[in-house]
């Protein structure tokens, strides 16, 4: 961790080199004779466009070694001074997001009319598609066409109808099933009917646990997630208190 201003030419392949170090050793001698050809090809390819170079060569060499040699070629090209600029070399091989209803950085609600009213479901679908697209293909943010869409323009009842209600139905169903069978089970064990059970404190506690369980544990992973959350919420505090733990233990000495 000594120096933090590495020269430009060496920055590019260092991480790649570290990862492929072990493979590189035994692949290296296989590829030596092809090296000069690779270098020539990659320099003419132009430095900086790292992603697509692995697909070019169809030699018997494995893709790993190809990428590696290309990296070396790219590195040499860089040190030749070809690449000191923030160029647009990351060319968009994928087209940017386009949708005729996406106008001026937001969804044009007039194009979502259905039966005289806005079809909010379609707006939600369109936004989901846009976000998915951008997640997979991030784009440059632009000042000429800033994105100003805000999800709060979609009315609250639409969100409830589409997302909350199905989930609520599911959870209520689970709670009802658990409730019915637990009531039957406890009745068969103790003879207390539903009304009597509700008067009992232990049964009320069980009911509370069942409701909380249904609400918070919706998938199998949730149990682990809750445990992690609890630990996470106090972790930072513990890190800050660490120097005081140390003091208390030295007091006892």
- Choose between 188 and 253: whose C-beta lies nearer to another protein: 253
- Choose between 70 and 203: whose C-beta lies nearer to another protein: 70
The minimum distance between CB 17 and another protein, in angstroms, equals 11
User: Measured in whole angstroms, how far is the alpha carbon of residue 146 from the centre of its chain?
Assistant: 24
Instruction: Residue 66: count other Cβ atoms within 10 Å of its Cβ.
Output: 22
The minimum distance between CB 48 and another protein, in angstroms, equals 9
The minimum distance between CB 138 and another protein, in angstroms, equals 4
Answer for the pair 185, 195: CB distance below 8 angstroms, yes or no: no
Q: What is the DSSP string of 88-109?
A: S-S--SSPPP--TTEETTEE-G
- Choose between 17 and 34: whose C-beta lies nearer to another protein: 17
- Choose between 177 and 229: whose C-beta lies nearer to another protein: 229
81: left (phi over 0), alpha (psi -120 to 50) or beta: left
- Collapsing DSSP to helix, strand or coil, 125 comes out as helix
Answer for the pair 101, 69: CB distance below 8 angstroms, yes or no: no
Task: Note the residues at the interface with another protein (CB under 8 A).
Answer: 1-2, 4-6, 8, 11-12, 15, 18-19, 84-86, 88, 90, 124-125, 127-136, 138-144, 146-152, 154, 156, 159, 162-163, 232-233, 236-237, 239-244, 246-248, 251
The burial of 38, by beta-carbon neighbours within 10 Å (0-12 exposed, 13-18 middle, 19 or more buried), is given as: buried
The minimum distance between CB 89 and another protein, in angstroms, equals 10
- Choose between 127 and 187: whose C-beta lies nearer to another protein: 127
The minimum distance between CB 241 and another protein, in angstroms, equals 8
Bridge partners, residue 102, by sequence: 107
- Choose between 112 and 133: whose C-beta lies nearer to another protein: 133
Largest CA distance in the chain: 88
- Collapsing DSSP to helix, strand or coil, 49 comes out as coil
The minimum distance between CB 174 and another protein, in angstroms, equals 19
The tokens describing 146, both together, are 């800033």
């Amino acid at each position: 961790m000594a120096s933090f201003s590495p020269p430009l030419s060496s920055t590019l392949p260092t991480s790649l080199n570290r990862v492929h170090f072990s493979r590189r050793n035994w692949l290296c001698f296989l590829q030596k004779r092809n090296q000069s050809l690779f270098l020539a090809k990659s320099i003419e390819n132009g430095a900086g466009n790292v992603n697509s170079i692995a697909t070019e060569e169809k030699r018997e060499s494995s893709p790993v070694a190809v990428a590696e040699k290309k990296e070396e070629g790219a590195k040499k090209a860089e040190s030749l001074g070809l690449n000191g600029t923030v160029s647009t070399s990351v060319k968009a091989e994928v087209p940017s997001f386009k949708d005729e209803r996406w106008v001026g950085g937001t969804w044009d609600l007039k194009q979502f009319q259905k039966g005289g009213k806005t079809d909010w479901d379609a707006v939600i679908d369109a936004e989901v598609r846009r976000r998915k697209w951008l997640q997979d293909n991030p784009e440059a943010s632009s000042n000429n066409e800033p994105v100003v869409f805000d999800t709060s323009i979609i009315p609250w009842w639409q969100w409830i109808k589409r997302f909350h209600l199905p989930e609520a139905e599911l959870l209520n169903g689970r709670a009802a099933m658990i409730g019915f069978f637990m009531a039957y089970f406890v009745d068969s064990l103790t003879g207390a009917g539903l009304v009597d059970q509700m008067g009992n404190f232990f049964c009320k506690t069980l009911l509370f646990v069942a409701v909380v369980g249904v609400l918070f544990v919706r998938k199998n992973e949730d149990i682990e997630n809750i445990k992690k959350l609890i630990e996470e919420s106090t972790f930072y505090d513990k890190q800050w208190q660490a120097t005081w733990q140390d003091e208390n233990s030295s007091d006892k000495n």
